[in-house]
């Protein structure tokens, strides 16, 4: 594995790391990664790097040693501020306490830290050892010292309780049963860079200048063993770490990372993809991922994926691997675009050139025939045959063999050539050529793939050169009909109902099912005349399928231009660059299963091998923890969870799921016992909000799932909301008694007077909201500025008219949708605090946005500055994309429904309701679903509407921002509808010549009449609105 190109990811200052080398790396019990550096302590939770410096309470920024004690506290050794204890004070926050010479530390430069199982933490300093005894609850600290006057660089607590100390002078001491003894394992003074214990209880000692020694303890005496590394090995070892599999990781200066597995040394260097060979730290996390700190190039993650990658640096002739085969001797052959042909025997690489008889470096297809000869096609120079000694040209005079894409040898020893532009050519053992083209019944002149099925038929996957775009498809050649002088071809193409004219790969599985890969039409299962199609909607990463192979487990491997897919008959598993692939693109027909059962495939960046022959990586459950709990924006600590006030009945839970292999692929599920009956639907959001919770006891649970596909153990927290006095049973009993006493008195008042009082009251108070003044009015009702007496904040309160709420279906639908709206959280979507019903009226409580709507702002500030225009467009597009991801279609998207906050950030409002029964009733009161001038044609006709209707409206909004006018106009409603259906809007640049060309292109694509011709998602709009992010 370590001799090949590895799957690495490099993190630098651009990702949030400080500009200093990693000194030590560890992982805490929650799954967070901790890194000490010269610029502070870094915590990484798989999503972001958090840096603790003196600004956050660290006593000194230069840090070195780190460990976690038995109570979950993190201890950090600094190089000038003593030791610092990190104590997690509830959710997401840490209290920091420093221990210096004033508190009894031996020295303020702490070089090493280790915790034992008895609750003691051992510190190696420049002036001896300090031992701190602590517990999980109290702040009582007991400190004692030993080995005064010595600089202790390393500490190791062995499995038998012995504590080992490595000194700067090269001496090694150990403490056992209160007695300290010492030994000098190295002949010269040399700083100790690492001490570790292996599974055999041997103590490994590494020095900066003198390699490695082992110490064996026998009857309390230390025996120094010989150096376990070769005598020729000479490098500076900066640190030593033992992995869970008893591998040893040696960080070196100049030789990269050395992995010692038994008696074998593996060197991980720049040849394997490391950014440099000066390594300062190494660590294996709980998932088996290696983390490597470099001197000047950041932090490296090395993931143990089941892929082994081969590229030019490994020994291939080139990276663009067009085809791969395995010959009868077990060697692998690779063709590379414009780089030549390579043979790999498992140990060494051989690159063939003109001296071997292969004059062209532009090689394409490969085949081994029944005689063991290797057939190679080149671009423009024909076909060559390798007999084990040299290459000889095959029939130079046949111009049709100048560009061969694929080979096939059938059961009768005929050699078939699939060409780029001349159809298929058969070469028989009697040296006769027969050409088959479209005139002979072949589907197309470009033959991508050929196979012979179990019935002896030859199947051709065909396309057509660009000048013949309509031809192509699948052709089946029947030898019996050929020998009877009948048309041997049966062709399937779009002309007779076949899904595609571009069949790139043909494959028959062990059950005689026929699988076809196509361009744009996905994967086709063709069996007994029945066609079944699989596309991106079914889980494929792309509809361009270019390679197919069945593995020994019966799974179908599907290579596409945007990732690798594995189908087991029930579900599709996907792989991409993020999961270890060299490239997301698999090349056409460059996929095989070798004799060991491993899957090989070619990509534009090299060849990949999926090692099914080796034991698969064990699945490690992800970790999840609750990071923050907030109520109305204020964080809640653990101390008050069991006594939350009734005013704290709206809670936001933020969680962190950790699977460092996949990082951003986490899926979450939430459940609130006492509120939910089961787990919520899986979501990519790492937070959830609950509003208007009743008093009582609850248990919040969260779990996470990463690329492994398995759920973590749930993380849970209990809390209780204390009822207000009027919510207690005693108050309710008192109220009942009061009502019974007052009922005869109240009866004296007239019913009419009571109704008048109720109406006047409803105008001043709605639920817990006190009405202040009117903000605006619309078709749904009135929007008030109101004061929430529970949370003590001002809100915008939209009150739905009684006429719309009189229908029972409207009312029940409004209540169900209210819960969904309350959970939406996005910086560019208006925040909804609560929804409810009060005295026959529905209400929605939202955040107040003081800068008005986008329509009014545009009127007063047109033309907008370029940076402001782009900021508004990207914000609106991101907000609309988020709404669509929640399966909500706006259907009334316009400038008046985009509000601006105090920082002029856009906030989309009035979403989701336009597709409900409520708004169906509203449209009967008004005219059309949406606002004329902004609606898409399909909204006017009442046809099928989806998120692409909102994309049309986004185009109108963008047009208006660019030109301060609408694209469609009319003197009345009928004229406006006619314009939307028939008129092509004027180009924005004709109205405003300063418009950027790509803005105009985006607008016009959004305003296409046919939804299929518009952008299909808001993500596509965002890709065109801003530069594409590049991940190194």
At 702-723, the pLDDT tens digits run 999 887 778 999 999 999 999 9
Q: What is the mean pLDDT of residues 109-138?
A: 88
Question: Could you give the C-alpha distances from 158 to 175, 217, 285, 542, 935, in angstroms and in order?
Answer: 10, 12, 20, 53, 73
Domain assignment of residue 752, yes or no? no
User: Cα–Cα distance between 499 and 519 in angstroms, integer?
Assistant: 10
Specify the pLDDT at position 580: 65
Torsion, Cα 71 73 79 81, to 10 degrees, reads -110
Specify the pLDDT at position 926: 35
Output the average pLDDT for the chain: 86
Of 228, 254, 269, the residue that ends a domain is: 228
Task: Assess whether 129 and 162 both reside in one domain.
Answer: no
Q: If 0-12 CB within 10 Å is exposed, 13-18 middle and 19+ buried, where does residue 309 land?
A: buried
Torsion, Cα 500 502 504 508, to 10 degrees, reads 40
Domain assignment of residue 907, yes or no? yes
pLDDT band of 306, cuts 50, 70, 90: low
Task: Assess whether 523 and 629 both reside in one domain.
Answer: no
Task: Assess whether 828 and 807 both reside in one domain.
Answer: yes
Domain assignment of residue 174, yes or no? yes
pLDDT value at 484 more than 70: yes
545 versus 337: the higher-pLDDT residue is 545
Specify the pLDDT at position 675: 92
Of 180, 209, 228, the residue that ends a domain is: 228
Domain holding 939: CATH number?
Answer: 1.10.510.10
Residues 6+ apart with CB under 8 A from 363: 322, 335, 336, 340, 341, 376, 377, 378, 379
pLDDT band of 260, cuts 50, 70, 90: confident
724-774 pLDDT, tens digit each:
888 788 888 888 888 888 887 767 655 544 454 455 445 578 888 999 888
Specify the pLDDT at position 641: 85
Domain assignment of residue 144, yes or no? yes
pLDDT value at 275 more than 50: yes
950 versus 765: the higher-pLDDT residue is 950
Torsion, Cα 304 307 313 319, to 10 degrees, reads -150
Q: Where in the sequence is the domain holding 469, given as residue range(s)?
A: 402-533
Dihedral sign, CA of 893, 899, 900, 905? negative
Domain assignment of residue 790, yes or no? yes
pLDDT value at 658 more than 50: yes
8-state DSSP, 271: G
pLDDT value at 379 more than 80: yes
Question: Could you give the C-alpha distances from 605 to 482, 691, 872, in angstroms and in order?
Answer: 42, 51, 38
Specify the pLDDT at position 925: 34
Task: Assess whether 124 and 30 both reside in one domain.
Answer: yes
Domain holding 441: CATH number?
Answer: 2.130.10.10
Task: Assess whether 16 and 149 both reside in one domain.
Answer: yes
Q: What is the mean pLDDT of residues 347-367?
A: 90
1002-1019 pLDDT, tens digit each:
999 999 999 999 999 999
806-859 pLDDT, tens digit each:
777 666 666 656 666 777 889 999 988 888 888 778 888 888 988 889 999 999
Of 680, 710, 727, the residue that ends a domain is: 727
Specify the pLDDT at position 464: 79
Task: Assess whether 192 and 112 both reside in one domain.
Answer: no
Task: Assess whether 712 and 804 both reside in one domain.
Answer: no
Specify the pLDDT at position 2: 47
pLDDT value at 914 more than 50: no
Task: Assess whether 116 and 179 both reside in one domain.
Answer: no
Question: Could you give the C-alpha distances from 579 to 2, 15, 568, 614, in angstroms and in order?
Answer: 17, 19, 19, 18
Domain assignment of residue 350, yes or no? no
User: Cα–Cα distance between 24 and 29 in angstroms, integer?
Assistant: 17
1024 in Cβ contact with 958 (< 8 Å): no
Task: Assess whether 71 and 175 both reside in one domain.
Answer: no
Domain holding 655: CATH number?
Answer: 2.60.40.10
Q: Pick from 821, 815, 795: which is nearest to 784 by CA?
A: 795
Number of domains in the chain: 6
Specify the pLDDT at position 1032: 26
Domain assignment of residue 592, yes or no? no
586-617 pLDDT, tens digit each:
999 999 999 999 999 999 989 998 887 654 55
Task: Assess whether 67 and 184 both reside in one domain.
Answer: no
Q: Three-state SS for 727?
A: helix
82 versus 614: the higher-pLDDT residue is 82
193-242 pLDDT, tens digit each:
999 998 888 899 988 887 888 899 888 788 888 766 655 456 788 888 88
Task: Assess whether 181 and 105 both reside in one domain.
Answer: no
Task: Assess whether 942 and 797 both reside in one domain.
Answer: no
Q: In what order do the strands lie in the sheet with 832-838?
A: 765-766, 769-777, 781-788, 793-800, 841-846, 832-838
> 535-540 long-range contacts, Cβ below 8 Å, gap at least 24?
538/572, 539/565, 539/571, 539/572, 539/574, 540/565, 540/572
pLDDT band of 88, cuts 50, 70, 90: confident
Domain assignment of residue 480, yes or no? yes
């Amino acid at each position: 594995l370590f001799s090949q190109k590895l799957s690495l990811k490099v993190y630098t200052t651009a990702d949030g790391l400080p500009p200093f080398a990693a000194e030590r790396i560890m992982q805490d019990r929650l799954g967070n990664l901790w890194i000490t550096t010269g610029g502070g302590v870094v915590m990484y939770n798989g999503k972001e790097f958090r840096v603790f410096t003196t600004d956050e309470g660290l006593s000194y920024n230069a840090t070195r040693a780190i460990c976690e004690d038995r109570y979950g506290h993190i201890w950090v050794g600094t190089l000038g501020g003593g030791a610092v204890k990190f104590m997690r004070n509830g959710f997401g926050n840490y209290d920091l306490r420093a221990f210096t010479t004033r508190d009894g530390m031996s020295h303020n430069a702490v070089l090493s830290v280790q915790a034992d199982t008895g609750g003691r933490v051992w510190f190696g300093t420049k002036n001896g050892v300090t031992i701190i005894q602590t517990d999980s609850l109290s702040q009582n600290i007991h400190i004692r010292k030993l080995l005064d006057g010595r600089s202790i660089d390393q500490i190791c607590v062995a499995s038998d309780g012995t504590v080992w100390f490595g000194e700067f002078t090269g001496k090694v001491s150990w403490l056992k049963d209160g007695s300290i003894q010492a030994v000098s394992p190295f002949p010269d003074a040399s700083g100790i860079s690492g001490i570790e214990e292996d599974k055999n209880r041997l103590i490994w000692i590494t020095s900066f200048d003198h390699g490695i020694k082992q110490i064996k303890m026998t009857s309390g005496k230390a025996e120094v063993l010989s150096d376990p590394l070769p005598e020729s090995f000479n490098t500076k070892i900066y640190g030593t770490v033992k992995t869970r599999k008893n591998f040893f990781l040696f960080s070196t200066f100049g030789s990269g990372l050395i992995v010692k597995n038994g008696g074998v040394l593996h060197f991980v260097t720049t040849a394997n993809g490391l950014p440099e060979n000066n390594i300062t730290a190494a660590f294996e996390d709980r998932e088996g991922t290696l983390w490597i700190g470099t001197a000047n190039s950041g932090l490296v993650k090395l993931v143990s994926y089941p892929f082994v990658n081969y590229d030019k640096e490994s020994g291939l002739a080139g990276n663009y691997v067009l085809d791969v085969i395995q010959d009868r001797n077990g060697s692998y052959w690779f063709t590379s675009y414009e780089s030549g042909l390579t043979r790999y025997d498992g140990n060494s690489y051989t690159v063939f050139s003109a001296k071997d008889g292969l004059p062209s470096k532009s090689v394409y297809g490969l085949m081994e025939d029944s005689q063991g000869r290797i057939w190679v096609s080149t671009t423009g120079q024909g076909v060559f045959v390798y007999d084990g000694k040299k290459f000889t040209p095959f029939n130079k005079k046949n111009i049709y063999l100048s560009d061969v894409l694929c080979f096939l040898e059938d059961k009768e020893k005929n050699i078939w050539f699939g060409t780029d532009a001349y159809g298929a050519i058969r070469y028989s053992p009697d040296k006769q050529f027969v050409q088959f083209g479209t005139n002979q019944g072949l589907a197309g002149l470009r033959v991508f793939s050929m196979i012979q099925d179990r019935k002896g038929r030859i199947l051709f996957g065909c396309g057509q050169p660009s000048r013949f775009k309509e031809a192509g498809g699948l052709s089946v050649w029947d030898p019996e009909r050929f020998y009877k002088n009948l048309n041997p071809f049966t062709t399937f193409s779009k002309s007779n109902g076949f899904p595609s004219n571009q069949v790139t790969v043909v494959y028959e599985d062990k059950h005689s099912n026929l699988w076809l890969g196509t361009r744009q039409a996905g994967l086709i299962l063709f069996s007994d005349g029945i066609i079944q199609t699989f596309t991106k909607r079914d889980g494929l990463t792309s509809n361009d399928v270019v390679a197919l192979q069945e593995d020994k487990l019966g799974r179908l491997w599907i290579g596409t231009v945007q990732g690798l897919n594995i189908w087991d008959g029930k579900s599709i598993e996907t792989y991409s660059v993020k999961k270890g692939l060299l490239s997301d693109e698999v090349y056409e027909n460059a996929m095989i299963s070798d004799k060991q059962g491993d899957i090989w495939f070619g990509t534009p960046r090299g060849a990949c091998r999926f090692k099914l022959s080796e034991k698969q990586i064990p699945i490690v459950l992800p970790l999840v923890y609750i990071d923050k709990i907030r109520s109305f924006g204020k964080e809640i600590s653990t101390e008050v969870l069991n006594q939350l006030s009734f005013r704290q009945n709206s809670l936001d839970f933020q969680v962190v799921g950790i699977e460092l292999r996949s990082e951003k692929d986490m899926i979450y599920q939430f459940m609130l016992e006492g509120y939910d009956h089961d787990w919520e639907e899986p979501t990519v959001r790492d937070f959830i909000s609950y509003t208007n919770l009743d008093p009582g006891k609850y248990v919040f649970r969260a779990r996470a799932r990463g690329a492994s596909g398995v759920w973590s153990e749930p993380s849970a927290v209990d809390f209780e909301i204390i009822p207000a006095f009027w919510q207690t049973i005693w108050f309710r009993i008192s109220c009942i008694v009061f009502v019974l006493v007052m009922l005869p008195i109240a009866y004296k008042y007239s019913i009419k007077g009571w109704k008048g009082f109720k109406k006047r009251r409803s105008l001043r108070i709605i639920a817990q909201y006190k009405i202040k003044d009117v903000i605006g009015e619309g078709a749904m009702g009135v929007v008030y500025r109101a004061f929430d007496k529970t949370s003590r904040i001002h809100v915008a309160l939209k009150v739905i008219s009684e006429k719309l709420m009189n229908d029972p279906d409207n009312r029940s639908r409004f209540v169900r949708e209210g819960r969904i709206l309350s959970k939406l959280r996005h910086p560019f979507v208006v925040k909804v605090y609560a929804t409810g019903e009060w005295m026959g009226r529905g209400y929605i409580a939202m955040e107040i946005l003081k800068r008005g709507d986008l329509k009014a702002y545009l009127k007063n500030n047109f033309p907008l500055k370029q940076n402001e225009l782009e900021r508004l467009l990207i914000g609106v597009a991101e907000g609309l994309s988020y709404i669509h991801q929640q399966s909500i279609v706006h259907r009334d998207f316009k400038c008046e429904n985009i509000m601006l906050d105090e920082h002029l950030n856009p906030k989309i409002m009035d979403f989701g309701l336009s597709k409900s029964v409520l708004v169906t009733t509203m449209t009967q009161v008004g005219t059309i679903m949406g606002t004329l001038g902004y609606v898409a044609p399909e909204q006017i006709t009442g046809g099928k509407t989806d998120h692409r209707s909102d994309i049309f409206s986004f185009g109108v909004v963008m047009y208006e921002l660019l030109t301060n006018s609408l694209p469609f106009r009319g003197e009345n409603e009928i004229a406006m509808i006619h314009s939307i259906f028939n008129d092509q809007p004027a180009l924005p640049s004709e109205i405003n010549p300063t418009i950027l060309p790509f803005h105009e292109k985006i607008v016009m694509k959004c305003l296409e009449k046919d939804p299929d011709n518009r952008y299909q998602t808001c993500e596509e709009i965002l890709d065109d609105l801003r530069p594409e992010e590049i991940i190194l």
